[in-house]
Chains A and B, each alone.
Chain A
Amino acid sequence: MIIDDWLVFLLLFLAPVLSSIPIALVYKSDKWTEKLPYLSVFGIFISVLMSLYIFTSFPENQQYAYTWIPDLGINFVLITDYLSCYMGVITAVIAFFIAIYGLDYMKGDYRPSWYWFFFNLFTASMLLVVYSDNLFLLFVGWEGLGAASWGLIGHWFRDDDEIAYVGVPKRKVGPLELSWPPSFGGWRAISTIRFGDVPMFLAIAAIWVLAGNLNISEINWETLFLNIGAAGTIILLVCFLMGLFTKSAQVPFSEWLMTAMTGPTTVSALLHSATMVAAGAFVFIKISWYIKPWELHHVPGLEIVYIIALFIGLISGLYGALAGSGMLERKVLLAASTMSSIGLMFAVGAASFWIHEEIAGINLALLVAFWYMAVHAFAKASLFLVSGHLIHATHSRFSCGGFEFGKRMKIPFIVTIIATTFLVGIPPLTAYWVKSAMDKSMEILWHEHHMLLPIILLILTSLIYSAIMARFLSLNFVRGEKPEHEHLEGGGLMKLGYTMMVSVLFILLYLIFTNAETKGFVDAGYASVSFAVGAGALIAYVIAVYVPRLKVFSRVPGTFFNDRMYLPFLNDYIMPKTGFFISRIVQNYGNRGIDGFFNTRVIPGLFGIISKGIRAIQTGYLKSYVKIVLGLVMVFLIVESLWGLGL
């Protein structure tokens, strides 16, 4: 090795953060905030180099431990297993491409310091999550993701530009106005994420105590689960999964991802498609990798957990695809499709419980989930970047642009075609092979475990998904309305960013055919069922390109889907109404009541009465003192006589 391993990791995590501190400090100077973003991008570039260095030169499955709080088992433990090595490179490379794009996209923004600081903090946190083997260290990165996501979604905090909103302003459904400003998007993101993070933190603490170890690869999961029994296993893992589901915006926690589209498009591309929301699925794959659930069928309760994950994934997949089918906002449509894809990652990851098939020593289902994540990351990030460019070019966040427009925007047009077709599983493009293996996994569930529903849901999702991706292409470049504004010049770095991004899909295709472990994908691709699904996806794609909007469906169910099946009511109506109702009771009755009793009314009043009474006695007239004494004597006599009577 040329450099020590600790230095590599230090540079990997700290270079992005340190390189963004100068710009954060000079926030007042316009001159410097124009120049310093290049430094921030350079910091991410160092991370790219380091991740590549780890990928190529570090031995696989090696643990690197550096002390933190050694007595308690909290340490900087990093691991270079298959998942980390690949995902590290993916994260750093995507972040780097998006950062280059961002140099152009964020030019002239009103708070570049904030943006670049959180963007780089995010990159570092994500890398920490990816490489970490220690659960506490992972959680530090995890919280970094949450905080950075909050900062970036709410980047345009002024809420004064309609282009940053989600939903149609002033459009009301029942008591709700279905439109959300950026500052609200940020608040909702962190509140939802936190709702899952704390249970996850508890699960980590429980693992810490009950397994006596925090390193994912070292924990003896079988003993742990057997010791805590069925109820313990279910509660522990469901708590852990809460963190993953909220981060990955699975049903019913998906709303935050939709309103997260109020952030800059670069943020949507990096956080809300490629990395952060995928982190939930990534961690799920990672722990399943070490739990090895397919060997633990004798552990009570574990199957229930995997069934929960399987169906939440599948339902989110279908929900996202259906919701996307009614949407017109470019980014929200992509967000819904992202949620759908991540649902599929969860589903196939969870299928690992029932699948014993291994390729090159890796469980098929987990491998599929991971590769789908990789393909999805590059394809979806490209699409987001294109839509960001389109928003700049047309001044509209709603899909618009006909074929004429498409011809003038050749590069984005071509990139969109490549990204969508490579993503939806049209043979023989990249995602087809991965999706085929996914179909195969669900087929195993059907044939060997009599679970028919998963494969039905998967195929249905795949077809609708293909259609909504085609719809995105069509509405923006082929058959959409003519845009009101067109600013087609410039955007060189933006084009460079998404062109580089989309070209990685070709590399992935090459890797699928050359890597040993993905040979199973190719085999699965030649199966007839996979081919039928692929052909179905192609047909759905072609139809949707020609008929992106059906008049018959535009009101019902189009509006219903566009309004995300009215799930916002849970987040915007039921939850806050309940919360504020409790707050009102607590404040108006609780606090005012106690305050009144102790501080302002009852007790001070009583003191007043008593002291007034005592003062009233002290009149100074002999007559009144004699009266008091006589009165007391009378009372004494009455009591005495009553007592004498035996009462």
Chain B
Amino acid sequence: MTLAYFLLLPLIAVVIAPLLSPKKATYLSSFAFLLPFFAILYGLFGGCLGKVHLASFSPPIGEFYLNFDFISHAFGLTICIVSAMVALFALPYMKHRFEEMERNAESEFRKYIFLYNLYAASMLWLVYSGNLVLLYVFLELTLITAFLLIYSYGYGNRKWVGLLYFVWCAVAGVLVLAGIVILAFENNSLALVVLMQGGKVSIVAWAFIFAGMIIELPVLGPHVWLPWAHAEAPTPVSALLSPLTVGLAGYVLLRIALIDYSFIETYRMPILCYAIFSSIYAGFSVFKQTDFKRLLAYSTVSQMGYMLVALCLGPFGLIAVVIQYMSHAFGKSILFASAGGIITVHHGLRDLTKMGGLHESIPAISNAAVVGFLNLGGILTVGMLGEFFILRGVVDTFLRPESPSFLGWTGSLPIILAVIFMFILSVWYGFWTIRKVFYGKPKDTKRLEISRYFYVPLFIIGIVSVLLLFPPLSTALIQGLNAITGLGLGGAMP
């Protein structure tokens, strides 16, 4: 399992990067995530599956190990490429931010790059954790590092926002921990490999984990922390927080669902309706935002609704959870980074009412944003597969006569229409935003010379998102996911 060694690289970078100059540290961090990215890509084809033992604990904790399967690979792939590219983007951005905050760029960058790498690495390790305790540890580690980043380098009343984020996610963490503890006593082990062999998740444990994760995800109601945190965080952090971190709640739910799907089956309708409503609600909220980053944050809430919808839709829905995470991560990291580009180039411009015609001055960033919204809308990118699997999930669950929740065509029409509208809304707000921000009469007609760091990484993410739709990448990825028990055609569940 050479892949395990590649996973160590980000951890090494955590230690070494703070010792270097900003530019070298950035390149080191970027490579520390790019190499695992290629290793995982190789793993997709080579079928790099299995586990790497780390430590053993007495019951009810069980074995700590690294878990290599296609779900982890898919999430890991996304985390690596996004973290690597955002690290590059952050170089000019954070320098600018430190100048703005009137701090010493060199020494602040050391602190920043340490936290950044730790943050990204803990997400990467989270998805490869083979034990729920280990997973929880990394979940909390992401929370703490992200909190510190917002608290130190955010915008506006960053301390308040940082605390707000911390409190909400700490509540989520505690709920999940409670769920995990119950789970531990029910099954006498928390190693996934044991749990997958007929492990049981009682309603109470499920309820705790579910409650925690819908705060973290988030859906309507608890979603109020997200616009604050994502809008006020320094943009590279937003570009990890929104695409990667919140979606990890979906990852946790997916893992639990693969152990025991009964909770979702029992409460399928209420959860599904809630998720669709939440997604549409957030979609409508987007139109009324005046701050570009806040707008993107609401779009995240809407997209996370997709993930929860997908979770309710049986084996193909569960594949869709994975794909949706990837496509949202690609799209949203591009978009947050382009928002960051605008902030830097146009002197802190975030107000949508003052935007318009920005394509004239920053065409490269504008075009990157288009790719971002294409990802969210599921047009010509990997998101298309995500939407397709969600729709297939709807048909599988409600329209197949063999399915236990068969409703018939007329009976399921409201659900069908709601899901369709949910997808339509994403494209509507996406292209509406593009027009409002980038097109129309230009206010600044001079084309600005901007650093390549602001757009080349974004296009690389964009290219990856397009390549993942086509062979050979999609072939390897989807076939691999499909072969996992519980997903796709490997779905033992009805």
Contact = CB atoms under 8 A, between A and B. Distances in A.
Q: Is chain B a partner of chain A in the same complex?
A: yes
Interface of A: 27, 67-72, 111, 136, 139-140, 143-144, 146-147, 150, 154, 157-160, 181, 183-184, 186-187, 190-191, 194-195, 198-199, 201-202, 204-206, 208-210, 228-229, 231-232, 235-236, 239, 579-580, 582-584, 586-588, 590-591, 594-595, 598-599
B409 A232 contact: yes
30 contacts: A68-B470, A68-B475, A72-B478, A139-B384, A140-B384, A143-B380, A146-B379, A147-B380, A158-B440, A159-B440, A160-B442, A186-B439, A190-B431, A191-B428, A191-B432, A199-B420, A201-B388, A201-B391, A201-B423, A202-B416, A204-B388, A205-B394, A209-B400, A235-B409, A235-B413, A579-B284, A583-B287, A587-B289, A594-B224, A598-B224
Given A67-B471, A202-B416, A591 B285 contact: yes
A16 B269 CA distance: 47
Contacts of A186: 431, 435, 439
Contacts of A183: 435, 439-440
A584 B392 CA distance: 33
A628 to B, nearest CB: 31
Interface in B380-404: 380, 384, 387-388, 391-392, 394-396, 399-400
A580 to B, nearest CB: 6
Contacts of B416: 202, 235, 239
Contacts of A201: 387-388, 391, 423
A208 B286 CA distance: 33
Contacts, number: 166
Contacts of B471: 67-68
A206 B489 CA distance: 16
Interface stretch (B91-99, B115-123, B357-365): B357-365
A228 B360 CA distance: 52
B195 to A, nearest CB: 26
Nearest to A206: B395
Interface string B455-482: 0000000000000011100110011001
A191 B396 contact: no
Interface centre among B374, B399, B471, B488 (most CB of A within 10 A): B399
A202 B391 contact: yes
Nearest to A236: B409
A239 B471 CA distance: 29
Q: Chain B binding site: helix, strand, loop or mixed by DSSP?
A: helix
Contact of B285 (A136, A198, A583): A583
A256 to B, nearest CB: 12
Interface centre among A158, A187, A198, A235 (most CB of B within 10 A): A198
Given A68-B475, A210-B400, A194 B225 contact: no
Interface centre among B357, B379, B469 (most CB of A within 10 A): B379
Contacts of A595: 224
A71 B395 contact: no
Contact of A195 (B363, B424, B482): B424
A187 B400 contact: no
A578 to B, nearest CB: 11
Contacts of B483: 71
A231 B410 contact: yes
Nearest to A230: B409
A202 B287 contact: no
B221 interface: yes
A23 to B, nearest CB: 14
A621 B416 CA distance: 68
A237 B260 CA distance: 36
A162 to B, nearest CB: 12
A334 B190 CA distance: 68
Interface in B190-206: none
B424 A599 contact: no
Interface string B426-440: 011001101100111
